[in-house]
Amino acid sequence: MGENAVVVEGVSKRFRLTLDRPLSLKEAWTGLRPGSGRSFRRVRSEPFWALRDISLEVPRGSMYGLVGRNGSGKSTLLRVMAGIYRPTEGRVEANGRTSALLELGAGFHPALSGRENIYLNASVLGVPKSQIDDRVEQIVEFAGLEEFIDSPVKIYSSGMYVRLGFAVAVHVDPEILIVDEVVAVGDEEFQLRCFSHLESLRSQGVTIVLVSHDLGMLRANCDQMAWLNRGLLAAVGDPQDVVNAYLDTIDTEGAASVGHRPRSDTEGETPLRITNLEFFDGAGHRPKSFASGDPLVVRIHYSASEPVEDPVFSLGFYDHNNLHLAGPRSHVDGFRPGKVDGEGWVEFRLLRIPFRSGAFHVNAAVQDSDASFLYDRRAREFWLQISGEPDPQANGLLNLEGDWRAGV
């Protein structure tokens, strides 16, 4: 047993696209399949490389995040790690009992009841019956399925499936837990419980490999991350770096279509730089996280190497999925800083934070007085953490402070 729970070495995975797979003995025998019209063409399989030369190490007891777009090979990699797929090339070593939650209802048999499936799943994972007997009630309670546990799982809703699958997967004492993005199917309250449970499992030394599109959550919780892009490992290591690198490509690809200049353009000589961004609460402190509805002050520190007349400062608020939520700009709001020179700061004050809980990143930019030339821009370096239990009654990203009236 080494330091690493999972070692992936030079793994490639090739699929044969099943479109051309011969489906009957006759076709297999003759190797022919009726094509269009009168001609026949050879049945051949197109190779498709879902993973190419992936190497990574998941340290024991860590939480490891995987990001990537749909179809980038994340799920295939998880399956290879879980031993379900055999790598075409390379080697995978998993040191410890692996429990995987890869799809809705990890490995449920639709005709069996929830309870029977708990036992079936546990036995698939090699957990003795006696051990599960003690856990069944815990699992049922965690999944919140007391009323339905003796009904066949085919009548379950997708949320019930996921809850039961997750509950089983985490209650069988795995040493390595592999979780695909399925958890996202559950409601917010269940997701919170899942993550707090994952957190407690990790503190017990369980290694967790996680796929999610929730970049804020991954960034906040993972020890290491990897980004898969079209089957290739695009970045691996520190979560902050990986998330930034991942968002950068989305940004550049997205920006290219809109005509924005990517961030790297401002690297070089510029008379005015943004040196830092700070978040203060109403009392002038800098807390680690803010509560929704609190006052917020964003201070933009700058450094000018020559005098600049009336620069335009702007901020951009984004959620963890890079959705642009707000973009206050100083000249639009009627603020003119006058001539700036040397070091200084400008502040943007917010009476009440409208964002509900989560991680938000704040970009800052500075332009010349008619906002035609970009001096400097800092993107995705500064994260604003809004904490607090989200009100289960409310939903959406923002609190809109409106009021309701009735009329006839």
Tell me which residues touch other proteins (CB under 8 A).
Answer: 15, 18, 21-25, 28, 79, 82-86, 94, 98, 100, 102-103, 106-107, 109, 111-112, 116, 119-129
Spatial contact of 383 and 296, defined as CB atoms under 8 Å apart: no
Of 340, 342, 383, which Cα lies nearest the Cα of 362?
383
Nearer to other proteins, 110 or 392 (CB): 110
Nearer to other proteins, 121 or 221 (CB): 121
Between 178 and 226, whose beta carbon lies closer to other proteins?
178
- What distance lies between CA 113 and its chain's CA centroid? 32
Least distance in Å: CB of 165 to other proteins? Answer: 9
Rg over CA atoms, the chain = 26
Helix (H), strand (E) at residue 42: strand 40-42
Give the integer Cα–Cα distance in Å for 139 and 118.
Answer: 8
Return the number of the residue (83 or 342) whose C-beta is nearest other proteins.
83
Nearest to 304 by CA among 224, 256, 366: 366
CB of 86 to other proteins, least distance (A): 5
Provide, rounded to whole angstroms, the least separation between the CB of residue 233 and other proteins: 22
90 or 107: CB nearest other proteins: 107
Q: How far is the CB of 58 from other proteins (least distance, A)?
A: 16
Q: Are 165 and 176 in contact (CB under 8 A)?
A: no
Alpha helices in 87-210 (DSSP H): 114-124, 129-143, 158-170, 188-203
Nearer to other proteins, 133 or 265 (CB): 133
DSSP 3-state assignment of 329? strand
DSSP result, 118-154:
HHHHHHHTT--HHHHHHHHHHHHHHHT-TTTTTSBGG
210 versus 340: smaller Cβ distance to other proteins: 210
Token pair, residue 303, equals: 């450094």
Q: How far is the CB of 212 from other proteins (least distance, A)?
A: 19
State how far the Cα of 217 lies from the Cα of 199, in Å rounded to an integer.
Answer: 12
CB of 267 to other proteins, least distance (A): 46
Closest distance between other proteins and the C-beta of residue 2, in Å? 15
